[in-house]
Amino acid sequence: MKEIVFKPIGYVRTKESVIPRHWTISQVEGELVINPEYQEGLRDLKPGDEIVVIFHFHQAPPFTSEHLIQKPPHLGEEKGVFSTCSPIRPNPIGLSVLKVLEVRENVIRVKGLDMFDGTPILDLKPHVKE
């Protein structure tokens, strides 16, 4: 199938070096630095909002067939990769739900980070619940 090419819209900035394995257990704060060309699209984000951040697991090792079944570090059992949040997956795409603390120009201050400093951001979406 045809390759699909994306370009990051920004990146994660954080001074924390210990990053929790998942946003559900993270209190880490940091910033999403969005390219100024997209700043106008941030207009309706405000403190208290929850946003879905789609990002690139840029430090993940390449996926091979050995990673189809993995044992998540916090679980005692093996799982099929699509039932895990492992960064080692056919397309290394990550998803986190973060809380907006502040928006200043093209920078969004957030809480709940589980991404490393420098992580490329692909998209931001509203967190829609059923």
Q: Which of residues 8-47 bind its own copies (CB under 8 A)?
A: 8-9, 11, 22, 24, 35, 37-38, 40-45
Q: Which of residues 103-122 bind its own copies (CB under 8 A)?
A: 120, 122
Closest to 115 in 3D by CA, of 47, 9, 25, 13: 13
Chosen residue from 59, 61, 68, 71 binding its own copies by CB under 8 A:
68
Give me the least distance between CB of 65 and its own copies, in Å please: 7
C-alpha 11/C-alpha 14 separation (Å) is 10
Closest to 118 in 3D by CA, of 2, 1, 8, 43: 8
Is residue 128 part of the contact set for its own copies (CB under 8 A)?
Answer: yes
